[in-house]
Structure 1
Amino acid sequence: MKATLITMILLILAFTVASQGPLQVGFYKGKCGSIDIESIIGGIVHSRFVKDPTVVAALLRMQFHDCFVNGCDASLLLDGESSEKTAPPNLSVRGYDIIDEVKTVLEKACPRIVSCADIIIAATRDAIAFAGGSRYKVQMGRRDGKVSLASNVDLPNPTIPVDQSITAFQKKGLSVTDMVLLLGGHTVGIAHCSLFSDRLYNFNGTGSPDPAMDSGLVSALKLRCPQKSKVDNTVNLDQNSQSSNTVDNSFYKQILMNRGILKIDQSIALDNKTRDIVSSIANAFNFTSQFSNAMIKMGAIQVLTGANGEIRKSCKAVNTS
C-alpha cells in the first residue's frame, strides 16, 4: 500500500513537471548571468526601426500570423517545402531576418536559453513602443513548436464579414473588443491594391465602387491603383498621412469617416456588433494601453511551456540533437 502511494506521488510529480507552466514577466532574469536579454532584443529592433519604420507593421503581422496557427510557437519561422512560410497568406510576411539576428546574438551569449517564440513577442512589443505605443511588460517562457505545415494555415481573410471574423477570434479565446483592438494594428500597416481593388471598381459584382467608401478616397485610390496595372502598388491602411507610421487611434477615426481600405476594417465601423467599440476607441485617450492588453492576450494563445516543445538553436529548423 505504501509503495503504491509513493508510486502515485511520483507519477503526479512527473505530470506536474511535464505540464505547461504559466508565462512570467521577467522569465529570463538571471538565466544568462548579468546579461539583460530583453535589452539585447530591444537594441537590435531599435537599430532596424531607425533605418526602416515599416518593421513595426512587419513584426505585428508576423506575431499575428504565428499565433493564429498552432499558437505562439514560432512555427511560422521554420523552413521547409510545405512549411507555414509557403502558405499563400504568409508569402508576404517579412521580418524573419530581424528574428534571426536576435537569435544569433543570444545564442552566442547564452545558448539554448531563449526561444524563438519569445523573441517574436518581445521584438514586436519593442517595435510598437518605438512607433509611439506602450512598452508593455511581456510574459515569457514560451517554447518553440516542432510542426509547421502550410495546410494548417487558416487565417481570417480581410474580406470576410464581421460575424466570421468574430468567430475566428473567439476560437482563439479573444473577445470582440480584442478583435477590434488587434485590427488597430493596421494603424501602421499597408495593403497592396490587389487586396481591395474590387472596392474601387466592381464591388460585389456591381461594376461600381463600394458605397461604404468615402467618394473622395475612391477617387484618390484609383490614381494609386489603376485598373489592369502591371504594378501592384501599396497604400497606407491609416489614411491619416501624418500618423501612418505611428501606433495610435487615428485608424479608428479614419474608418468612422468611411476611409477604411480593407473591407473588414470598414465593416467594423459599420456593423452594429462593433461600431460602438470602434467609436469608443476612436475617442479614447488610453488606446495604447488597450492595444497592449490585447497584444498580451494574443501572445498567450496555445503557448508551449514547461517540458513541451523545445528551445531551437536556429529559428529556421527544429533541433537535431
Structure 2
Amino acid sequence: MGGGLGGAVVYSMLMLVLSALLALAASQSPSPVLSPAQSASRPPAARPSFPSPAAPAPRLSRPPTPAAKPSSPPPAAPAGKPSPSPRPAPTRSPSPVAKPVPRASPRPAASPAPKPPSPPAVAPAPKPSPSVVPAPRPSSPPPATPAPPAPRTAPKPSPSLAPKQSPSPAASPPPPAPPQPPSNSTPTMSSTLGQLSPSFYAQSCPGVELAVRDVVRSASTLDPSIPGKLLRLVFHDCFVEGCDASVLIQGNGTERTDPANLSLGGFNVIDAAKRLLEVLCPATVSCSDIVVLAARDAVVFTGGPAVPVALGRRDGLVSLASNVRRNIIDTGFSVDAMAASFTAKLLTLDDLVTLSGGHTIGSAHCNTFRERFQVANGSMTPIDGSMNADYANELIQACSAADGTVSAGTAVDCDSGSASVFDNRYFANLLDGRGLLRTDAVLVQNATTRAKVAEFAQSQDGFFASWASSYARLTSLGVKTGADGEIRRNCSSVNG
C-alpha cells in the first residue's frame, strides 16, 4: 500500500517534471506548436514583414532539439517504470499538459483529491514560462539573431524617413516652380548669351559706374554741350548695329564716316573713361557699356532721372557706313516713317515720343532743319505752316549768314529756353509750335503721338517714368554678349 502510494507520488512528480520540460521546449520552439499566448508574447521575433525573422527561425530551431534531448533523461528514472515511458512522447502533441493530468488521476484512486491541486501547480508553470523564455534566449545563440533584427529595424526608420522626406520634396517643388519659370529658361539663356545685369561688374570692376560718372561730370562742367552729344551718340550707336560701340570705330568706310554721323561728338569723353577704366580694371569694361553709362549720366547731370542700367555688353567687330542710312531716323521723316523704323526695332509709338524727349537737351546745326525754310534772294522764309511765327523769326536770325545763306556751322538749341536742363519743357514747346526739327513738329500732327505729347507736357514725373523704361529698351537693342564680340582695349579700333 505504501509502495503503491510512493509509486503514485513518484509518477506524479515525473509527470510534473515532464510537463514542465515540455512546456519549456514548446516555448523555445518557433513551430506552430506554440500556443497563442506564447506567440503573442514574442512580438519582436514574430515580425514576418522583415526578412530577418527567416534567419532567426532556423537558429531557434536548433536549441529546441538539445532541449528535447535533455527531456530523454526522464527515462533514466526507472522508479517510474510502472508509468509507460512511451506516453510522454505522444504528449508532445498540441496540449501536452492536459494529457498527463487525466492519465495520472486514474492510477492512484485515493490520490485524485491531492492531484487536482497539482494540475493548477502545472498550470502556473506554463504561465511563468514566458519569463523562462527570455532566459534561454540570452543564454543561447539566438541573441545573435535578435541583434540582426535590431540593425534591420534601424534601417527601417530610414525607409520610413525617406517617405516622410519624399512628401516634403513633393511640396517643396512649388516654391522652386516660381523661380523656375522665369528662372529655369531664362537662366539657360543667360548662361549661353550672357544676360545683361546691373551688377555685371560687381566683382570684376566694382567702381565702373563711379569712374564713368566722374569723367562725364568733369567734361560736362567744362563744356555744357557734352550731355546732349553723349545722348545723341547712344542713339546713333544702338540704332545701327545694336549697342556695340560700332559708331566709335575710326577708319575708311566706318559708321563714323557717314555724313549723318559727321556732326556727332562726345568721343573724347568715352575715350577718357576707357583710359581710366583700363588702369582700374584692364580689359574688363566694354566701350559699349561706357557709351550707355555716359548717356545715362549726361541725363542725370542735367537734372533728369537716374535710371538703373543693365551692363554686360561686348563691343562689335563690324562698322560699315553703308548700314547707317537705312537704320537711323532722318530729320525729314513723317510719323509713319519713324513708327516703321521703331517697329522694326521692337519699339512702340510711346517709345518714339518718349525718346524724342531727349531733344530737351542739346543743340542742332542750322542745316539739319533747313528744309523748313526757303532761302532765296539772300533771305530765309519759313515754309512750314506748323511753325510758330515768332519762333521762325528767331531761327532765321540765328541761322542767316552775312551772304544771305544758311550758316551750316551755327548750332541752335533744340529745346528753346531750356536746352541745358532735362525736363518736360520740350513737349510744351511742341504744342506751342516751337519744335526745332521736322521730326519734332510732326509729333503733334498725329492724334496718337499728340496725346502722349500732351500727357508729358502736363506731367514731368510721367515723362521721367516713361524715359526710364524706354531708355532700357533702347540700350538693349542688338546687344552682343557672352562669346560674341570683344572687349576693346581702345574704343576707336578693334583689337589687333
Q: TM-score, normalised by structure 2?
A: 0.58
Q: Secondary structure at the match of 2:193?
A: coil
Query: Are residues 1:195 and 2:368 paired?
Result: yes
Task: Report what 2:482 is aligned to.
Answer: 306
User: Relative contact order (alpha carbons < 8 A, sep ≥ 6): 1 or 2 greater?
Assistant: 1
Query: Are residues 1:237 and 2:414 paired?
Result: yes
The answer to whether the Cα contact below 8 Å between 2:399 and 2:407 also exists between their aligned partners in 1 is no
Compare 140-149 and 229-238 and name the one that shifted more. 229-238
Structure ID, larger Rg = 2
Task: Report what 1:6 is aligned to.
Answer: none
Report deviation, 1:217: 1.1
Report deviation, 1:230: 5.0
Q: TM-score, normalised by structure 1?
A: 0.89
Query: Are residues 1:228 and 2:402 paired?
Result: no
- The superposition leaves residues 34-61 of structure 1 with CA deviations (integer Å, 9 ceiling, x where unpaired) of x511101111111111111211110111
Report deviation, 1:17: 8.3
Query: Are residues 1:71 and 2:268 paired?
Result: no
For residues 296 and 70 of structure 1, the distance between their equivalents in structure 2, rounded to whole angstroms, comes to: 17
Task: Report what 1:122 is aligned to.
Answer: 293
Q: Secondary structure at the match of 1:181?
A: helix
CA spacing shift, 1:231–1:73, aligned 2, 3 Å: closer
Q: 1:210 aligns with which of 384, 387, 397?
A: 384
- Give the paired residue count: 299
CA spacing shift, 1:253–1:110, aligned 2, 3 Å: same
Task: Report what 2:459 is aligned to.
Answer: 284
For residues 285 and 85 of structure 1, the distance between their equivalents in structure 2, rounded to whole angstroms, comes to: 34
Report deviation, 1:294: 1.2
Report deviation, 1:211: 0.7
Q: 1:183 aligns with which of 342, 349, 356?
A: 356
Of all paired residues, the percent bearing the same amino acid is 38
Task: Report what 1:11 is aligned to.
Answer: none
For residues 221 and 317 of structure 1, the distance between their equivalents in structure 2, rounded to whole angstroms, comes to: 39
Task: Report what 2:439 is aligned to.
Answer: 264
Query: Are residues 1:273 and 2:448 paired?
Result: yes
Letter paired with 2:388: D
The answer to whether the Cα contact below 8 Å between 1:18 and 1:308 also exists between their aligned partners in 2 is no
Task: Report what 1:4 is aligned to.
Answer: none
Report deviation, 1:254: 0.2
Letter paired with 1:237: C
The answer to whether the Cα contact below 8 Å between 1:53 and 1:131 also exists between their aligned partners in 2 is no
For residues 90 and 197 of structure 1, the distance between their equivalents in structure 2, rounded to whole angstroms, comes to: 18
CA spacing shift, 1:288–1:17, aligned 2, 3 Å: closer
Task: Report what 2:215 is aligned to.
Answer: 44
The answer to whether the Cα contact below 8 Å between 2:360 and 2:419 also exists between their aligned partners in 1 is yes
For residues 253 and 161 of structure 1, the distance between their equivalents in structure 2, rounded to whole angstroms, comes to: 20
Letter paired with 1:315: C
Structure 1: 4+ residue segments shifted above 3 A: 15-19, 229-232
- The superposition leaves residues 280-321 of structure 1 with CA deviations (integer Å, 9 ceiling, x where unpaired) of 11111312232122111100001001111111111111112x
The answer to whether the Cα contact below 8 Å between 2:431 and 2:454 also exists between their aligned partners in 1 is yes
- The superposition leaves residues 176-232 of structure 1 with CA deviations (integer Å, 9 ceiling, x where unpaired) of 000111111110121211222232337xxxx75211001111122211122414553
CA spacing shift, 1:308–1:215, aligned 2, 3 Å: same
Compare 227-236 and 35-44 and name the one that shifted more. 227-236
Q: 1:255 aligns with which of 399, 413, 430?
A: 430
Query: Are residues 1:162 and 2:339 paired?
Result: no
Query: Are residues 1:22 and 2:195 paired?
Result: yes
Compare 59-68 and 292-301 and name the one that shifted more. 292-301
Letter paired with 2:479: V
RMSD, matched Cα: 1.8
For residues 186 and 17 of structure 1, the distance between their equivalents in structure 2, rounded to whole angstroms, comes to: 34
Query: Are residues 1:147 and 2:318 paired?
Result: yes
Report deviation, 1:24: 0.4
Task: Report what 2:3 is aligned to.
Answer: none
Letter paired with 1:199: R
The answer to whether the Cα contact below 8 Å between 1:143 and 1:308 also exists between their aligned partners in 2 is yes
The answer to whether the Cα contact below 8 Å between 1:45 and 1:98 also exists between their aligned partners in 2 is yes
For residues 185 and 16 of structure 1, the distance between their equivalents in structure 2, rounded to whole angstroms, comes to: 32
For residues 431 and 491 of structure 2, the distance between their equivalents in structure 1, rounded to whole angstroms, comes to: 40
CA spacing shift, 1:230–1:215, aligned 2, 3 Å: closer
Query: Are residues 1:55 and 2:226 paired?
Result: yes
Letter paired with 1:310: E
The answer to whether the Cα contact below 8 Å between 2:332 and 2:438 also exists between their aligned partners in 1 is yes
For residues 301 and 407 of structure 2, the distance between their equivalents in structure 1, rounded to whole angstroms, comes to: 35
For residues 237 and 23 of structure 1, the distance between their equivalents in structure 2, rounded to whole angstroms, comes to: 33
Query: Are residues 1:316 and 2:492 paired?
Result: yes
Query: Are residues 1:136 and 2:311 paired?
Result: no
CA spacing shift, 1:125–1:16, aligned 2, 3 Å: closer
For residues 332 and 199 of structure 2, the distance between their equivalents in structure 1, rounded to whole angstroms, comes to: 39
Unmatched segments (≥5 aa) in structure 2: 1-187, 376-380
